[in-house]
Chain A
Amino acid sequence: MKQLKVALIGNPNVGKTSVFNALTGLNQHVGNYPGVTVERKIGTATLAKDTKAHIIDLPGVYSVNPNSKDEEIALNAIFDASNKDFPDVIVVVAEVENLKRNLLLFTQVKDLGFPTILALNMADQMEKKGISIDVPALEKALDTKIVLISARKKEGINDLKQAVLNYSNYNTNGVFDLKSIDEHYFTILQHLYPNQNPYKVWLTQTGVFQFEQLSPVVSSSSTVQKSETELKKLQHRETIKRYQFINEVLKDTYRIDTSKATDIRMKFDRILTHKFWGYIIFFFVLLLIYGSIFELAAFPMDFVDGLFADLSAWTSANLPEGKLTELLADGVIPGLGGVLMFVPQIAILFFLISILEETGYMSRVVFIMDRIMKPFGLSGKSVVPLVSGTACAIPAIMSARNIENPKERLITMLVTPFTTCSARIPVYIIIISLIIPKTYILGFVPLQAFVMTMMYVLGFLAALLSGLVLSKIIKADRKSFFVIEMPTYKAPILKNVFLNMYEKVVSYVVGAGKIILALSVILWFLGSHGPSDTFGNAEEMVAEKQMNERLTEEQLASEIAGYQLEHSYIGIIGRTIEPVFRPLGYDWKISIAVLTSFAAREVFVGNLATLYNLGEEAAEDETKIIDRMANEKRADGTPVYTFATGISLLLFYAFAMQCLSTVGVTKKETNSWKWTFVQLAFMTAVAYVAALIAYQLLK
């Protein structure tokens, strides 16, 4: 079996992903390059009976001169001969519509000395768009093989495979004469590096990539040393000259009538970027996204939740009793359930986002939102993660992937968990009903609802202000500019949408899932185990203490559960660090509940119920818990849940890291423990300080 290595490269929005999907189908895999967030997308295609191709899909670029650290790392695949993805042949995917700009990248790739195939996508639209191409003449002028394809209609894919198979027949000559940029300078370079690829020599000079095999015959003389500004001017000139060359080539081979396509674009743009309607439409799009992940995902989420609860119960009932069964039934299975719970939300969110990206609408969102988000160090696209975050931070952080600027993307991921996610709602409801009186502001606005709304506002403000702070602290790897393309409006290709959704789900389950699972098993262990002299003897201890009281079996069981949580490792930790939480107004029970709720926010209420020996049934009943909490007294007889403690708890929950699943996803998405810890420490610090100030002022 022969195995070829093929690289796909092309401008953004030319349908390169569709070509990749058409070639590989489900035989694709997305990984990360070590240490960075850029995706490494590879797949395999069967070209002929005995030949397979290993295909790498490089990120969409306009040129081989990288714009960001991410692009630099991805492009190493075609620069560095020792890279494991270094291709035998490169397919440049271009679209028939803006051929001129696509060919800029083509000439650069060709000049690198690869056998190069030019795949012209959307060939089926040529007639409709008034385009005609003289393919044989263009092939001759560019000294290359051209294949007309339509990935949307799956036309020409076999021709492309055939062309790849014949790669050794294509020559590796450059197509553009560098001397036309600056005769004198490039002649000197040629003398210094004889018999070397002149374009590689030039890219080494400009610092794009250090091609190792290059060494000058004489020690580099001062005549080739150019200042950075001079090099930049030469690069600009190179681009201008390349365009002149391309215009010359296209003059006789390519015709287009742009008026038609521009009309449709203008009609849509007039509404979608309108200073009033643009925002109204975007508001409804956000409402649709939010509603889908909040309401629609609830059904499959409940199903997954129930399924794993049943599975856990079944396991503990049917497997032999013992530590291993316990680990499986109470640690691993609920942990897995906790991972898979978020799959419906991730799938739905990425289904919608893929459609927004595929149609070209997302670029319009950036256009109308950029000015509003820019002061906070965020991108116009950050609006989607921030709003999705009010349902759940897990899919929201993942959706920041669509932000091109690495700094804006990092800040978006770091601040998204501040927005009020749905898991915080039960905590807010309990505490608000405890401390906020059921009165009305101005006679008609219920005060409790008002406070609830303010919690949401607070979440957004915290996210935006943190963005502002972080944008001052985080250094960009290089100056980045806001230049985005406004793509043509297109109907989404469902295959791309579903493959994208599938890939996001897989990458979440495999990547973040294992971190979440590991953390939740650890947390389960700490919560359900303790030193044997107290925890191990819980039943006797409780029975002894309660000798004189007549308790029903159920009451006894809940007493034991409370005693066990109190004396588990996490209970011990909670009681030990109680002094840390005391200035915030929390007793040891609240401290334990706060700690354990790190597994998931909603656990807070359940664990408080356990600590107050309320038993399982009561834990489902909010009013019972609220009554119990209202009557809870400190040692000196004053109530625990005063207004000050309540506000302090609300603020703590508003700002503290929501759950360990978020930690797992942040690690996966930032590909860095450093930023994960920065986020955790930053949020905890903000939460602690806010709660401290509130309690000390109000008590």
Chain B
Amino acid sequence: MTLNFLKKSQKGTIISINADNVPLKLIEMGCLPGNIVEVLQIAPLSDPIYIKVNDSFLSIRKDLAKEIEVELI
């Protein structure tokens, strides 16, 4: 599944990232394969989402979260 389907307080391990559509910045902020990502909050109109990954706290839009493949844990 992809990151945009994770519900609030669910965690997942990042499996792969679509290099074509994901900016280098997100990788540089710690969104790397193998790292655990947790959805902390989903904005009131269900976009964007607020995640914790690699000790970084980030907010990204769902169209970007769609490009990140995760495995639910």
- Point out the residues of chain A lying under 8 angstroms from B23, CB to CB: 67, 479, 481, 483
B21-60 to A contact mask, C-beta < 8 Å, 1/0:
0011111111011000000110111111010101111111
B54 touches A239 (CB 8 A): no
Known A-B contacts A229-B19, A232-B24; the reply to A100 vs B64 at CB < 8 A is: no
A63 touches B28 (CB 8 A): yes
Instruction: Tell yes or no: A153 within 8 A of B by CB.
Output: no
Instruction: Tell yes or no: B72 within 8 A of A by CB.
Output: no
State A327–B41 Cα separation when bound (angstroms).
61
B19 touches A239 (CB 8 A): no
Instruction: Tell yes or no: A667 within 8 A of B by CB.
Output: no
B24 touches A229 (CB 8 A): no
Instruction: Tell yes or no: A205 within 8 A of B by CB.
Output: no
A236 touches B29 (CB 8 A): no
Residue among B28, B52, B54, B59 with the highest chain A CB neighbour number at 10 A: B28
- Point out the residues of chain A lying under 8 angstroms from B40, CB to CB: 266, 269
Residue among B27, B40, B61 with the highest chain A CB neighbour number at 10 A: B27
B45 touches A372 (CB 8 A): yes
- Point out the residues of chain B lying under 8 angstroms from A366, CB to CB: 59
State A485–B48 Cα separation when bound (angstroms).
12
| Interface-lining segment among A272-280, A344-352, A652-660 | A272-280
Looking at the assembled complex, report how far the CB atom of A477 sits from the nearest CB atom of chain B, in whole angstroms.
Answer: 14
A232 touches B25 (CB 8 A): no
CB-CB nearest in chain A for B20: A229
B54 touches A236 (CB 8 A): no
Instruction: Tell yes or no: B17 within 8 A of A by CB.
Output: yes
Looking at the assembled complex, report how far the CB atom of B8 sits from the nearest CB atom of chain A, in whole angstroms.
Answer: 11
Instruction: Tell yes or no: A217 within 8 A of B by CB.
Output: no
* One of B20, B50, B64 near A269 (C-beta < 8 A): B50
Instruction: Tell yes or no: A243 within 8 A of B by CB.
Output: yes
State A201–B56 Cα separation when bound (angstroms).
30
State A279–B44 Cα separation when bound (angstroms).
9
A328-369 to B contact mask, C-beta < 8 Å, 1/0:
000000000000000000000000000000000001001110
Q: How many residues of B contact A (CB 8 A)?
A: 32
Instruction: Tell yes or no: A371 within 8 A of B by CB.
Output: yes
* One of A65, A101, A265, A483 near B54 (C-beta < 8 A): A101
Known A-B contacts A101-B54, A367-B48; the reply to A483 vs B24 at CB < 8 A is: no
State A363–B33 Cα separation when bound (angstroms).
26
A370 touches B25 (CB 8 A): no
State A128–B4 Cα separation when bound (angstroms).
35
B32 touches A481 (CB 8 A): no
A69-101 to B contact mask, C-beta < 8 Å, 1/0:
000000000000000000000000000001011
Looking at the assembled complex, report how far the CB atom of B59 sits from the nearest CB atom of chain A, in whole angstroms.
Answer: 5
State A265–B56 Cα separation when bound (angstroms).
13
Known A-B contacts A229-B19, A367-B50, A486-B57; the reply to A235 vs B30 at CB < 8 A is: no
Instruction: Tell yes or no: A482 within 8 A of B by CB.
Output: yes
State A363–B60 Cα separation when bound (angstroms).
12
Known A-B contacts A63-B25, A483-B58; the reply to A367 vs B19 at CB < 8 A is: no
State A239–B24 Cα separation when bound (angstroms).
8
A273 touches B26 (CB 8 A): no
CB-CB nearest in chain A for B23: A481
State A273–B39 Cα separation when bound (angstroms).
14
State A613–B26 Cα separation when bound (angstroms).
66
State A629–B25 Cα separation when bound (angstroms).
61
A371 touches B47 (CB 8 A): yes
Looking at the assembled complex, report how far the CB atom of B25 sits from the nearest CB atom of chain A, in whole angstroms.
Answer: 5
Instruction: Tell yes or no: A581 within 8 A of B by CB.
Output: no
A275 touches B44 (CB 8 A): yes
Instruction: Tell yes or no: A495 within 8 A of B by CB.
Output: no
* One of B33, B47, B48, B57 near A265 (C-beta < 8 A): B57
State A98–B28 Cα separation when bound (angstroms).
13
Known A-B contacts A100-B30, A240-B32; the reply to A232 vs B19 at CB < 8 A is: yes
* One of B20, B45, B64 near A232 (C-beta < 8 A): B20
- Point out the residues of chain B lying under 8 angstroms from A547, CB to CB: none
B26 touches A481 (CB 8 A): yes
State A46–B61 Cα separation when bound (angstroms).
45
Instruction: Tell yes or no: A32 within 8 A of B by CB.
Output: no
- Point out the residues of chain B lying under 8 angstroms from A487, CB to CB: 57
Instruction: Tell yes or no: A628 within 8 A of B by CB.
Output: no
- Point out the residues of chain A lying under 8 angstroms from B41, CB to CB: 269, 273, 367
* One of B24, B43, B56, B61 near A368 (C-beta < 8 A): B43
Instruction: Tell yes or no: A258 within 8 A of B by CB.
Output: yes
A62 touches B29 (CB 8 A): yes
CB-CB nearest in chain A for B29: A62
Looking at the assembled complex, report how far the CB atom of B22 sits from the nearest CB atom of chain A, in whole angstroms.
Answer: 8
Looking at the assembled complex, report how far the CB atom of A9 sits from the nearest CB atom of chain B, in whole angstroms.
Answer: 14
Known A-B contacts A269-B41, A275-B44; the reply to A240 vs B55 at CB < 8 A is: no
Instruction: Tell yes or no: A484 within 8 A of B by CB.
Output: yes
Instruction: Tell yes or no: A438 within 8 A of B by CB.
Output: no
State A368–B56 Cα separation when bound (angstroms).
19
State A374–B23 Cα separation when bound (angstroms).
19
Looking at the assembled complex, report how far the CB atom of B49 sits from the nearest CB atom of chain A, in whole angstroms.
Answer: 9
B29 touches A101 (CB 8 A): yes
* One of A98, A239, A243, A273 near B50 (C-beta < 8 A): A273
- Point out the residues of chain B lying under 8 angstroms from A363, CB to CB: 59
Instruction: Tell yes or no: A455 within 8 A of B by CB.
Output: no
CB-CB nearest in chain B for A269: B41
A485 touches B29 (CB 8 A): yes
- Point out the residues of chain B lying under 8 angstroms from A483, CB to CB: 23, 25-26, 29, 58-60, 64
Between A and B, 7 residue pairs with Cβ closer than 8 Å are: A240-B33, A256-B55, A273-B50, A367-B43, A368-B43, A483-B59, A484-B59
19 more CB-based (< 8 A) A-B contacts, given A100-B54, A367-B43: A62-B29, A63-B25, A98-B56, A101-B55, A229-B20, A232-B20, A239-B28, A243-B32, A273-B43, A370-B48, A370-B61, A371-B44, A371-B47, A372-B45, A374-B61, A481-B60, A483-B26, A485-B29, A487-B57
* Residues of A participating in the B interface, judged by any CB pair closer than 8 Å: 62-63, 65, 67, 98, 100-101, 104, 229, 232-233, 235-236, 239-240, 243, 256, 258, 262, 265-266, 269, 273, 275, 278-279, 363, 366-368, 370-372, 374, 479, 481-488
Identify the 10 closest CB pairs spanning chains A and B, nearest first.
A275-B44, A371-B45, A486-B57, A63-B28, A481-B23, A482-B61, A239-B27, A62-B28, A371-B47, A484-B59
